[in-house]
Structure 1
């Protein structure tokens, strides 16, 4: 059925109870079986059907949760609050817009983010707990994840100046490599310091998939409509994303994620975003200005060279995420594999508890 265009169209046109039944069935298949190549088809169908219908697989919907205190942070599409789920602290990202039409539009963005995020499982990607729908006249979707006491990467490094930046950069590269190597490759699209959180084990994990997009695979013969290709955060954006004449170059890609990874590396050692000293960071990027090497004594020649390679003007000259991982692993402590094994069971416990 997945390989027949007419049947796919029929599936994606379902609404209401029929769409809900299909979403639940597809999610159950993804949860229960090792589906190899079929997994890519199912995830893409699941994401698109969820976006079109505005529904979620029921497994992802959480019961009532307790949101307490004040807003603590803000993301691309929503504000972050601290809450409680079954006695565990959680982060609740809630849409900030008002007006039924805008709420409906952003509900589709949240639907897509939630369904895609729920398929991911890596110690270097923030775990997804589920979706919570508010009790309002126009219900708003909230995306729920575990609460991280140490905050995001810039906050953590400010409070812990002696932190192992090389290991944290490796963690981010491992998260990016996982996304790019996923059964259906995922481009993050908005990688930056504030979108990287620090776990209780003091390791970095990637968060906020609001601008993520599923990489097109010609073997799938299926195009998701309106995949996110909107703007990211300017200081971390690759120069080709500002090309007003070539729409293909403006598409986010694995290479634009790698450029952002290089910017994150700079941010970690400089303590500020790239070109923050310029009145117009966009102008600096478009003029291909070079970053000044941070004065940090922790930044050795090999790491700076790698950061510069990630930020090459030519997308084809940038290394892949796996290449970045290989280079960083040669110089980091041999604890990464142990960390992955130790935290795999923790992730599944967190997922199972919801």
Structure 2
């Protein structure tokens, strides 16, 4: 890798390395020592798929507390544990409950992680166990980017994650991790905030390669063929999925990762989950409701307060035409300059609700105790219904609660008419 100009946060220097996208770096993947290809009889054989450079760990050497779960899914459970004197994350597959496809995804993730080596923006693989099958990985302290953006209520962390400078650092880290994946012909296939882990120093680390594909890139063409993944299928998370992937004949591609990145970039800037305003409309429309909505030309909403330069950039990333989307190399070059500023948290504006006295009482009965310290109506105002009282909405709640209150109040007010001033 070669060094690029230093990107700094005041009093906190950070340096990023961007590997050159060359045929040499791509060739390193195919030249690595591999034990064998995927077995055609679907027999689960993790040992046959992982690079010999990755050590086999004795499961008995892992100190795992079964109650200390970091996460879980259909594949199994991720535990926090101790190995070799250090804290680790242990991803354990449930063989007796997993489908053949889930087992293959687990093997594929093992194979891919074993080829990546060490990179500051990718989760490190320390080793693996065979009985039961586990991946032993670096423990990343703060958890997922999704958790930090939408669910964490630690005031110190919330203050950090809403800082525009930290947001920029996280986004650039994600881009650098994706550059490294693309340099060795890997398409992530499920890039989303849940699959970005954040270290204590707010370094982003791309994780979860269960849906990744290995691709052989043809000269000057984005069109690719799967080289080591005969059972590739359309998969991912609908809210982040490029609409062209709904067509089963279209394989995941570098440009589909860029689409997902654009959705996530917008999510980080305005701290809102993709299509949050459409959740109710998607009910009952199946797991692909969001990607079907995107196929019609729709996209997650962009706040009117998003800087114009970032709005334009987001729209380039999720462009309808995959060939019009930038590469991750270009994304880094465009976002890295110091003059590109990410906004701090979009404060919900303090607003006043003006109603006549009787209407204010009706609204209160509809919304419960959502208004804090409304002005006491005088006897004179009570006798004259054309006069008004003012109620200030308290926004001192935690972010999630406050946003929910704003939605409920807005819904109630729309029932009565336009009374928000």
From 55, 60, 66, give the equivalent of 2:55: 60
From 285, 299, 322, give the equivalent of 2:329: 322
Q: 2:89 & 2:298 partners in 1: Cα distance?
A: 38
Q: 2:225 & 2:180 partners in 1: Cα distance?
A: 23
From 177, 180, 200, give the equivalent of 1:178: 180
Matched, 1:127 2:99: no
Match of 1:197 in 2: 197
For residues 121-270 of structure 1, what are the structure 2 equivalents within 5 Å?
121-134=118-131, 140-158=132-150, 159=152, 160=158, 161-163=161-163, 164-182=166-184, 185-218=185-218, 223-226=227-230, 228-243=232-247, 247=249, 250-270=250-270
Which fold has the larger relative contact order, with Cα–Cα distance below 8 Å and residues 6 or more apart in sequence?
1
- Contact 1:188/1:212 (CA < 8 Å) preserved in 2? yes
Number of residue pairs the alignment of both structures matches: 284
Q: 2:35 & 2:259 partners in 1: Cα distance?
A: 26
Partner SS for 2:140: coil
Match of 1:276 in 2: 276
Q: How far does residue 225 in structure 1 lie from its aligned partner after superposition?
A: 4.4
| TM-score when normalising by structure 2 | 0.61
1:8-65: per-residue Cα shift (whole Å, max 9, x none)?
Answer: xxxxxxxxxxxxxxxxxxxxxxxxxxx877533334x728526665424554311221
Q: 1:146 & 1:229 partners in 2: Cα distance?
A: 28
Q: 1:47 & 1:179 partners in 2: Cα distance?
A: 21
Partner SS for 1:258: helix
Compared CA separation, residues 133 and 104, structure 1 to 2 (3 A)? farther
Matched, 1:41 2:30: yes
Q: How far does residue 214 in structure 1 lie from its aligned partner after superposition?
A: 0.8
Runs of at least 5 residues in structure 1 that lack an aligned partner in the other structure: 1-34, 135-139, 334-354
Q: RMSD between aligned alpha carbons? A: 2.9
From 308, 311, 324, give the equivalent of 1:304: 311
Q: How far does residue 285 in structure 1 lie from its aligned partner after superposition?
A: 1.0
- Contact 2:78/2:91 (CA < 8 Å) preserved in 1? yes
Higher strand share: 2
- Contact 1:255/1:318 (CA < 8 Å) preserved in 2? yes
Q: 2:137 & 2:194 partners in 1: Cα distance?
A: 16
Partner SS for 1:216: strand
Match of 1:23 in 2: none
Q: 2:51 & 2:314 partners in 1: Cα distance?
A: 40
- Contact 2:128/2:136 (CA < 8 Å) preserved in 1? yes
Q: 1:306 & 1:286 partners in 2: Cα distance?
A: 20
Compared CA separation, residues 252 and 154, structure 1 to 2 (3 A)? same
Runs of at least 5 residues in structure 2 that lack an aligned partner in the other structure: 1-23, 153-157, 283-288, 341-421
Q: 2:125 & 2:321 partners in 1: Cα distance?
A: 34
Q: 1:302 & 1:231 partners in 2: Cα distance?
A: 31
- Contact 1:126/1:145 (CA < 8 Å) preserved in 2? yes
Q: 2:74 & 2:334 partners in 1: Cα distance?
A: 32
Q: 1:98 & 1:276 partners in 2: Cα distance?
A: 36
| TM-score when normalising by structure 1 | 0.72
Higher helix share: 1
1:238-267: per-residue Cα shift (whole Å, max 9, x none)?
Answer: 0100125xx1xx200000000000011111
